[in-house]
Each structure stands twice: as structure tokens, then as C-alpha cells.
Structure 1
Amino acid sequence: MDTQFLNTFVTVADQGSMAAAARLLNVTPAAVAQQIRTLEREIGAPLFARAGRTVSITEAGARILERARQLLHDVADLSALANDENTAGELRLGAGTNALTGMLPDILARMVERFPRIKVFIKPGFSPELYRAVESGELDAAIVLQAPYALPKTCDWLLLREEPLVVLAPQAMAGRDPHELLANEPLIRFDRQQWGGRLAEQYLQLAGIAPQERFELNALNAIAVMVDRGLGVSLVPDWSRPWPEGLKLVRIPLPMPFEPRRMGIVWSRATVRIRLVNAFLEEARGLMKRTSKVPAASKKK
């Protein structure tokens, strides 16, 4: 059985259409359809029910989907095991939105220059789901927010960056008291369902500020644009660049001491790709030492 056909099967199941899977795999829809038909013949059961341009997985397909995922992961592990003396194989990473455009590209640029034989799979997502993916073994490591709970013994943590809360305001409001802004200007709230948003809510409660809420969302770049357009002020972590270009904003420090948002890397000690993970950690440490917001020493949770 060709593992590429299994990968096509999993991709079609995830995308919900052969055309979308073909775009992701960079092949033609006809090639995807042919691979699925071949796989169905080998397995002896239909894997998808076709309905126009979309497909739905059959009961038979659903029964083998997770096993197929695991088999593909095991095949990827073979390269790491076979190349135990060299830094090669596939590394499976996760990253949040800001890390995807901020820290991660710079770390990977250094890493692939030193270790050109590696292949990297990247899963975007929010920190809670990325922690679960690392704990389950789906991912080897992820750039995430520090978890508000103790990690399992199978995982470890490296602190990369601390991001203090700041009041984000239009440039014309520079010099005004941050508490006065939070109390009297419309608030563009950082989503309280997310860990970073909870920090902002805790500060507002500690300061006794009842804000005039206008919007609530979990998208820091979008919040910056909305503040620039005069829609309100916001209380957010001072997140890493890049930011949207051309914005006229000020970041006003808070008068009361408060815990920063902490970004770092969580990884699984049990992964067979620990050599690749260690190389990733080494490059992350090297890069962060040259930035202004790196702690003096790495810390473990």
C-alpha cells in the first residue's frame, strides 16, 4: 500500500473535497480521485461518498482515519530513527498566529541553514489546542503561551519572551493617563476566552476599572488597526513584531505592577525526534538572546 495514497485520503477527509485536497497537495483533482479509487480497491470498501464537488467520509473511512493518521506519523518517525547520528527527518511544530509571523520564521531560517536535511510540518492554532497536540504526540513542540496549569511530566517548557500589558491608543492620546483612558474611552477588549485576554481582565479588576466595552475579539493585529481608526483603546500584551504597517499608535505602560504574558516553547520529552527538537531549542535560544525582551536565563515552569 502506497503511504502517499494514505496521505491523500487523510487530506481529503480533512478538507472535505478532492479539489481542496488537490490544491493543498499540489496535484490535479484527477490524480487525487485516482489515488482514492486505488486505495478503495486495496482496502475493499468505499472511503468517501461523492456529492457534487464535496465528499463525505463513509463509515469504513471513518473507522480507518485515525489509524491512517497514526501510520503516517510512524512512517515519518522512520527517518528520524534511521538518521539517529544526524540532524535530519521531519519535525512537527505548532504555533499561534503571532508566533507564525513573528518568532518562528526567524528561528526556522537559522535552523534550516544549519540543518538542510530537515523537513518541518507546522500546525497553526491556539495555545490550549497546541498543548494538547504536544501532550498526545501529534506534535513534537509548539510556540505557545505559558499554560496556567502544571505541565505533565512528559513535557518541558522554555521561556522565550515576556510581554507586559500596555494600553494601546491612537497617537493623539500620547501622554494621557492609562487608567483614565481605560475608564473613559471605548474599550476594544482582547478576548476573555483566551489566556492573554484573561490577564487583561484581571488587571482591570485589580485596578477597579469598569470599562466602556465596544468590541471583543481575539486578533491582536486587528485590534491595532481598530485603535488606529479611532474606534477605542485596548489593553493588550506588547506582542512581537511584525505589526500592520502605517499605524499611528502609542503603547502606554501601566502604573501598577502586573504579571506579563509569557511566550515559550513546550515540547515532548518522549518524541523520537528529540534530536530535532533540541536543535530547534538551540536555534530559538540563540535568536532570542539577540532580542531586547529575552529573560536573562531560561526558566522552566
Structure 2
Amino acid sequence: MRCHGAARTDAARKKVALDVQQLRYFVSVAELGGLARAADILDVPQPTLSRQIRALELAIGASLFHRHGRGVTLTDAGNRFLPRAKTILKSVDRALLELHEGDSRLRGHIVCGLTPSVGRMMISEYVRRFNERLPLARLSVINLLSSQLHDQLRASRIDFAILHSPPPASALVAELLGRQDLYLVGRTAVGPDPSWVDVSNLDGLRLVMPSAPHVTRQPLEAAAARHHVGLRIEFEVDAVDSLFDLVAAGFAHTVSTRVALASKWAEPNLVVQRIVNPAITTELYLSSPAPSDLTPLQEVARDLARAVFYSTCGHLTHAIDSKSE
């Protein structure tokens, strides 16, 4: 005859079959805070994602999310399970990498994210050096706006990214690579000096700009608001080459970074004036998981991306000097 205590012990020791893909889905939904957003980033139908999460909950015998109209939040069990799920996935990824490292060389697939202007400057050199340093690895490079790269990082769809402003996720590490000044670009100079322009001179000036949340919009609009400058943004164009075509045609001025200007989208005969009083800057970061969560391949590929950034874009990033507030 078996006592109740033994039965409870057997139940506690019952093996649970965990699906790795379900764990990845769970981590993505937890990081992104909603099924709809995670389904969009993961490119998985939302009903499929919901079923997989529910199957995982049934497998472990616990509810992982509170579901409400604004999305989902982790239950107490979900909060306890999240770091363990990440540990399991890290172990699986390392095991798969080691499985293919019989000759001690680095194999696998790296997905690197870059903003469009940074990508235009460094992709060619990065691909060349990646192929030399990691001949047995595969590389994918995606160009997205910083806000989109944030989402891809949080969903673990990319391994690391060079982007503007650090992502709002504690599990990621953001390393400052450099700062860029913002410049006014147009067919004609604004103000008395063709090399610089006061923020006050932008008051009422016809502008064509990328739509929010592009990197140039937030710092420009914040500086304009602080100094009571009325920005006149008449056109919003996200395609950078088309934006500079409009500027070259004389439709309006725009505001751009040094890296974008060096990317050969802008015609060389345009007038470029650094914005001062106050100087307006943006920051570029290398964002990736914490070092303890990186595989050897990810670490080498990330470090290589940093080196290529400095060799191709480093001369375009700097701290503010001369004209300032």
C-alpha cells in the first residue's frame, strides 16, 4: 500500500516534456508584453502562438500569463519560469554550437542588425571581414530603424545590433560607440554662416523629415520646444534616398546625421550646416545580450562588428566641440 506522501513525491518528480520552440515563444511574448506584437515580430499567426503558449502551460502545469485587454503580464509562476527558460535556451544553443565544432572552429548563423545609414557605410567591409574571420559561419544582415531593431533584439530574432538609443530591456547590454551631431541640409545656406546654423534659424523653415520615431526627430523636436522654435515639417519621407532627392530639388531642407551624409545619399553640392546653440546630437550603441549569454560565435561576430564600425564610421562620431549651448 502506498501512502499519500509517496504519491505526492512521485507527482513532484514527474518528468515534463518541454518543447524548445514553445520556450522561445514564451520568452518572446514575455519580453514584448503581448501576443499580437510577438506574433508580428516572430512572423507566426497569433492563434498558433497562443496555442503553443497554452500547450507549454499545460505541460508544466502552471499559468504563465495574466491575459487582459492591454496584452499580457507574467504571473508569479511566469516570473519564476522566465530566467529558467532563458537558461535552458542558452544551454540548447551552446550545445548545438558545440555539436558542430568538431574541428574547434566557429560555425553557426549570425543575424546582425544595422540602421540603414550605418549599414550603407559598413556592410560591405563587415561581410568581407566576417568571411575571412569566420569562414564556416553564415551571416544575415538586416537594415531597420532603431525602434524596429529594439523589437527584434527583445524577441531574440537578431544576435546584436548597432542602433540609436539603448533598448529598454534589462537583459540587453548597450555599449556607447559614439555621438553624432545633427546637420541642416539644403540647396541654400540658412543664416549668416554656411558652416553652422542656430536652432533659432529653423523657426518656420520648410522641412522634409523622416516620420517619427526616426532618430533625428526626437532630439530636434525636443531642442525646438525648449527654445520655442516652431518647426515647419511639411513632408514626411522615410526613404532616405528619396528624402535627399527632394532636398536636392529644392522642395525643402532636412536635418540629418554625419553618417547619413557620408553614405552618399546626399548630392555633394548641397549645403551642410551643423546645428548649434544648442548643438543637437544622437548616440550610437552596440546592443547585445549580456556577455554571459553570448555564444563564442556571437561574441566574435559582435566584436568584429564593433571593429568594422570604428574603421568605417568612427571618424564621423565624436563628442560635441566648439559651438554649443
TM-score, normalising length: structure 2: 0.60
- Matching residue of 2:173: 156
1:234 to 247, 254, 278: 254
Residues 91-240 of structure 1 aligned to structure 2 (within 5 Å): 91-147=110-166, 150-152=168-170, 154-171=171-188, 175-176=193-194, 178-179=197-198, 181-240=201-260
Distance in 1 of aligned mates of 2:277 and 2:213: 23
Deviation at 1:220, TM superposition (A): 3.3
For 1:218 and 1:59, how far apart are their aligned partners in 2?
32
SS at match of 1:187: strand
Contact 1:156–1:268 (CA<8 Å) still a contact in 2? Answer: yes
Cα distance in 2 for residues equivalent to 1:90 and 1:273: 13
Q: Which amino acid aligns with 2:315?
A: S
Taking the aligned partners of 1:156 and 1:59, their CA distance within structure 2 comes to: 32
Deviation at 1:201, TM superposition (A): 0.8
Contact 2:207 2:254 (C-alpha < 8 Å) held by counterparts: yes
Q: How far apart, CA to CA, are the structure 2 residues paired with 1:60 and 1:266? A: 30
Structure 1 residues 99, 80: closer, same or farther in 2, change over 3 A? farther
Say whether the 8 Å CA contact 2:209–2:255 is kept in structure 1.
Answer: yes
Q: Return the offset for 1:242.
A: 1.9
- Give deviations 1:177-212, integer Å, cap 9, x for gaps: 624652253111342333431111112223322133
Higher radius of gyration, 1 or 2 = 2
Change in 2 beyond 3 A, CA 1:104/1:266: farther
Which residue is equivalent to 1:88? Answer: 107
The alignment status of 1:292 with 2:315, answered yes or no, reads yes
Per-residue CA deviation, residues 227-265 of structure 1 (Å, 9 max, x unaligned), is 111011122322343222645212201222445211222
How far apart in 2 are the matches of 1:187 and 1:58?
40
Shift of 1:62: 9.0
CA–CA distance in structure 1, aligned partners of residues 126 and 286 of structure 2: 12
RMSD: 3.8
CA contact (8 A) 1:77 1:272 kept: no
Q: Secondary structure at the match of 1:107?
A: helix
Cα deviations by residue, 1:70-95 (Å, 9 ceiling, x for unpaired): xxx99987652324543221112222
Q: Please state how far the C-alpha of 1:276 moved relative to its aligned partner.
A: 2.0
SS in 1 for 2:216: helix
Letter in 1 for 2:257: P
Letter in 2 for 1:99: V
The one-letter code matched in structure 2 to 1:206 is R
Counterpart for residue 254 of structure 1: 275
- Structure 2 residue runs of 5 or longer lacking an equivalent are 1-44, 56-89, 320-325
Distance 1:169 1:226 in 2: 10
1:282 CA displacement: 2.4
Distance 1:110 1:63, change over 3 A: same
Paired residues of 1:94 and 1:124 also in contact (CA < 8 A): yes
Q: 2: distance between equivalents of 1:160 and 1:58? A: 37
Rounded Cα–Cα distance in structure 1 between residues aligned with 2:251 and 2:135: 47
| TM-score, normalised via structure 1 length | 0.64
Native 8 Å contact 1:76 1:90 kept in 2? no
Shift in alpha-carbon separation, 1:138–1:239, aligned structure 2, 3 A: same
Matched, 1:277 2:294: no
TM alignment of 1:7-22, pairs within 5 A: none
In the other structure, the counterpart of 1:267 is 288
Change (3 A) 1:122 1:74: farther
When structure 1 is superposed on structure 2, of 269-278 and 187-196 the one drifting more is: 269-278
Matches within 5 A, 1:42-57: none
Contact 1:181 1:233 (C-alpha < 8 Å) held by counterparts: no
Note if contact 2:185-2:247 (Cα within 8 Å) is conserved in structure 1: yes
Structure 1 regions of 5+ residues with no counterpart? 1-56, 68-72, 297-301
